[in-house]
Amino acid sequence: MTFPNHKARILTMTITDVSVRPYVLPESLDVPEAQPFIAASELSNLIEREVWGNDDHCHTAQTRFESSKPNHYEERAIFLAFEGERVVGKAVVDVPLTDNLQTCYAFVIVHPERRRLGFGSALYAAVEDHAQRRGRSTIMGWTDHRAGFDPARVLTPATGAGAFPSTSLAACFATARGFSLAQVDRCSVLPVNWNSCRLTALTADAAKIAGPDYAVVDWVDRCPDELLEEYAHLRKTMSTDVPMGELDWEEEVWDGGRVRENEGRLEREGGSSLVRAVLHRPSGHLVGHTILERRAEKPGTAYQEDTLVVSAHRGHRLGMWLKAANLLAVPDVWPETRQVYTWNAEENRHMLDVNIELGFTPEGYTAAWQKKLESAG
């Protein structure tokens, strides 16, 4: 599918024999026009290995192809840097279409051998040009770094929670282009050699504290129709009812259709989800949920996605109940799983404490960067 705004103006910048230009997603990866996309996917994996030292966050080109397809809620623009016929850089701009209409989300990478030669600057210029043409006044982006950096040479967000190495390539690139550090997330990992007896005890203890007014329901891959709108409301609440640091983030629009679209996209990516939600019996409403996801391409790794308990129902150990019960189910549902990753804002002390109690340990940190454009429209 093409993006009409790409046709209006082809942006081409040249540095020696490198051109940066929009890339139109082909109908499939089986056509010659897909080769640059496949090469860009391999470049993304190269960068993931460079950052993390492993393949845990790498994906196949097919997975990235499915996630790049536009839908009713978001469109994606892709820019590639070519040196001759070789892909040496990539930029992605995700533009929300139903909410956060002032914002877009950017991602820029350059091959390690071609850094500091102006290719990243050219790619970012394409990002900012696209953002302004789409009428966006705020650009956000996220970068990762493994744990173990020098604590004396860091940037700290305005919240004062967490830190990110100031000397990292990502930090230098972002700050040089006017981005500020808006938030820091901690990336933690839990090996799936956990003590099931301990998880069982944590689950039982949390259920006892919660009391008879609450019950946990669960599903794999597809939310039951009768819970769909309740679950959509939780996803909507999750978008703003968690610490957001200095990010200019507004509440997302969620309905049953968006839930189903997300489920369908995960299925097309070869993924699966394991969801638990907590039902408040007196009101009949869902008041919390937690999500685990994994993909068939990487059966040993699962990712902890959203966990939320709505504010009026906090203080009853519902978050622990949801997460411990979901983790207990992993060996039965996904027996090949060997580790679970999760991300939490450094100011989210409560959820970090829950994860520590469950056995998660820090693996790295994710910086959320934000830039306000001087003019847009």
Same domain, 48 and 100: yes
Q: Are 90 and 80 in contact (CB under 8 A)?
A: yes
Q: What is the mean pLDDT of each run of 10 residues along the chain (377 residues)?
A: 33 60 96 98 98 96 95 96 95 97 97 94 97 97 97 95 96 97 97 84 96 97 97 89 84 94 95 97 96 96 94 94 96 94 95 94 97 75
**Residue 250 φ/ψ, nearest 5 degrees:** -105, 165
At 79 the three-state DSSP class reads strand
Residues 178 and 250 in one domain: no
| Token representation of residue 4 | 């009409």
How far apart, in whole angstroms, are the C-alpha atoms of residue 376 and residue 329?
48
Domain count, the chain: 2
- What pLDDT shows up at residue 16? 56
Q: Are 213 and 330 part of one and the same domain?
A: yes
DSSP-based helix, strand, coil % in the chain, nearest 5: 35, 30, 35
Residues 116, 179: one domain?
yes
Residue 52's CB is within 10 A of a number of other CB atoms, namely 18
Based on the fold, state whether residues 203 and 296 are members of the same structural domain.
Answer: yes
Burial of 14 (0-12, 13-18, 19+ CB in 10 A): exposed
- Whether 203 and 181 map to the same domain: the answer is no
Q: Is 284 helix (H, G, I), strand (E, B) or coil?
A: coil
The residue type at 109: I
Q: What pLDDT score does 212 carry?
A: 97
Q: Is the same domain home to 20 and 130?
A: yes
**DSSP string computed for 218-231:** EEESS--GGGHHHH
**What amino acid is encoded at 8 in this protein?**
A
* Residue 213 placed within a domain: yes
Residue 245 structural domain: 193-337
Q: Do 157 and 73 fall within a single domain?
A: yes
Q: Which two tokens stand for residue 97?
A: 């279409």
Same domain, 155 and 16: yes
DSSP annotation of 238 reads: H
Regarding whether 253 and 150 lie in a shared domain, the answer is no
* One domain for residues 222 and 112: no
pLDDT given at position 17: 66
At residue 29, the pLDDT reads: 97
Q: Quick one: 240 and 295 in the same domain?
A: yes
The CATH number assigned to the domain holding 235 equals: 3.40.630.30
Q: What pLDDT score was predicted for residue 8?
A: 32
